[in-house]
Amino acid sequence: MPDQGPLPLTFAAPRRGKPPRHFADLAPDERASAVSELGLSAFRAKQLSSHYYAGFSADPLTWTDLPAAHREQIRDALFPPLLTYVRDVSCDGGATVKTLWKLHDGTLVESVLMRYGLRHDGTPGSHGVRSTLCVSSQAGCGMACPFCATGQGGLKRNLSTAEIVEQVAAAARAVQRGELSGGPGRLSNVVFMGMGEPLANYSRVVAALHRLIDPAPSGLGLSQRSVTVSTVGLVPAIVKLADEGLNVTLAVSLHAPDDELRDTLVPVNTRWKVADVLAAADAYAARTGRRYSIEYAMIRDINDQPWRADLLGELLGHRLTHVNLIPLNPTPGSEWDASPKPVEREFVRRLEEHGVAVTVRDTRGREIDGACGQLAASG
Ligand code: SAH
């Protein structure tokens, strides 16, 4: 743990200059009027959607079905550059790529693109390949979890809807162009597990979810079950999310089955306890019929004791969940390590004994500080 003691929880993001409005901010019914404001016929909105969401194209100057005289105006008014590419770093033979982006005000954020299902020689395995983007919803994070580098850096600001969608659009383009090892493909999954607490930036994240799952050409057409929102457990926001009529996968970062330890590992637990968080997740599952994930970072001698495995098993045995154990990734300022493999195996065994489905996450990008909890976006 860092020496300076626990950071405060920050729910409200500092107010900063708003990023310019972008087409990806607009819901389908707002697009026609935005286009009309530019003096163009409303039907042009559909063309813009097709280029952006179905064609993964970012440059209106190349959209030759638009009147040439208006292309520049459309670009300036509706497609301002929101994310400026700074650099990529990759590992796993090019199957994991972390991208650093600079936002309009100089703020830095990262996203991580991962290809799964390749054989060691880089050819597709027999179960097919998936491409997953780990997206950021805030610059920094206010939730202050002591084992997470993003949490230790504090919250800089919320991202706009379009700043979130643009990370996904850029990834979809990169996958289509074959920039990940394994050749060209389709972006199949998006996880809100990058920088930030998505449910603390609620309305923009929900709008971004709609852009991702709306069928093309209105949105990117990702399947709802392939989109995961991961939260520290902001109970009122989980309850609200259950009422949005969305069917996306919910993941809850639990990390401890008991309030005493969770109060320190996930400081928001001082507001909403383990039982409250699980009740809210159950309500989400009941509403959507979807199993939710429990994320549990395995931290040596902190939360990996056999009795905690049993307690977790008792809590989850009758619930519609799946546990993802994440071997702790090292972060600056934290002394903690991942649990040894035999301890991890015993933890898995005990959970399974309670009838809980468990997987150990194939955690990616540790060498490039791109794994869970390591995103710090230092220039
Ligand atoms: N704020 C959201 C999403 C971001 S993090 C949330 O907390 O759910 C995605 C996952 O990585 C969370 O489960 C988080 O607790 C976990 N994580 C954070 N730091 C980690 C670390 N150092 N090692 C392993 N997992 C970590």
**How would DSSP label each residue in 64-107?**
TTS-HHHHHHHHHHH-----EEEEEEEEGGGTEEEEEEE-TTS-
Q: Whose CA is nearest to atom 19 of ligand 1?
A: 373
DSSP code at position 192: E
Q: Whose CA is nearest to atom 12 of ligand 1?
A: 253
41 exposure class (CB count in 10 Å sphere: 0-12, 13-18, 19+): exposed
Sign, CA torsion 282/288/289/295: negative
Q: Whose CA is nearest to atom 18 of ligand 1?
A: 373
225 to 38, 116, 291: CA distances (angstroms):
37, 17, 10
Please give the Cα distance from 258 to 265 (Å, whole number): 11
Amino acid 4: pLDDT? 55
For a mutational test of ligand 1's pocket, the pick from 138, 228, 229, 253, i.e. the residue with the most ligand atoms closer than 8 A to its C-beta, is 253
For a mutational test of ligand 1's pocket, the pick from 230, 231, 265, 294, i.e. the residue with the most ligand atoms closer than 8 A to its C-beta, is 230
Which residue, 86, 140, 95, is CA-closest to 364? 95
- The tally of CA atoms less than 13 A away on the side-chain side of residue 3 is 0
Tell how far the Cα of 60 is from the centroid of ligand 1, in angstroms.
Answer: 37
- Which atom of ligand 1 approaches the CA of 147 most closely? 22
Tell how far the Cα of 229 is from the centroid of ligand 1, in angstroms.
Answer: 12
Please name the residue ranges forming H helices in the chain.
28-37, 44-49, 68-78, 149-153, 161-176, 202-213, 235-242, 259-265, 274-288, 306-316, 341-353
Q: Which residues are the active-site residues?
A: 110, 372
Pocket of ligand 1 (CB under 6 A): 141, 143, 145, 147-148, 193, 197, 230-232, 253, 295, 297, 326, 328-329, 331, 372-373
Q: Whose CA is nearest to atom 24 of ligand 1?
A: 328
Whole-model pTM?
A: 0.96
171 exposure class (CB count in 10 Å sphere: 0-12, 13-18, 19+): buried
Please give the Cα distance from 343 to 308 (Å, whole number): 12
Looking only at Cα atoms, what is the longest distance across the chain? 70
In this structure, the number of other CB atoms found within 10 A of the CB of residue 175 comes to: 23
Amino acid 101: pLDDT? 98
Tokens encoding 215: 């069928």
Amino acid 2: pLDDT? 46
- Which atom of ligand 1 approaches the CA of 363 most closely? 24
Tokens encoding 217: 């050409």
- Which atom of ligand 1 approaches the CA of 329 most closely? 23
Q: Which residue has the tokens 């060498």?
A: 367
108 to 79, 122, 341, 355, 379: CA distances (angstroms):
20, 31, 35, 43, 7
Residue 212 contacts residue 190 (beta carbons within 8 Å): yes
Residue 110 contacts residue 90 (beta carbons within 8 Å): no
β-strand partners of 114 = 96, 132
Tell how far the Cα of 290 is from the centroid of ligand 1, in angstroms.
Answer: 21
For a mutational test of ligand 1's pocket, the pick from 193, 250, 265, i.e. the residue with the most ligand atoms closer than 8 A to its C-beta, is 193
**Residues of the chain below pLDDT 70:** 1-5, 379
Tell how far the Cα of 133 is from the centroid of ligand 1, in angstroms.
Answer: 15
Tell how far the Cα of 334 is from the centroid of ligand 1, in angstroms.
Answer: 14
Query: 319: helix, coil or strand?
Result: coil
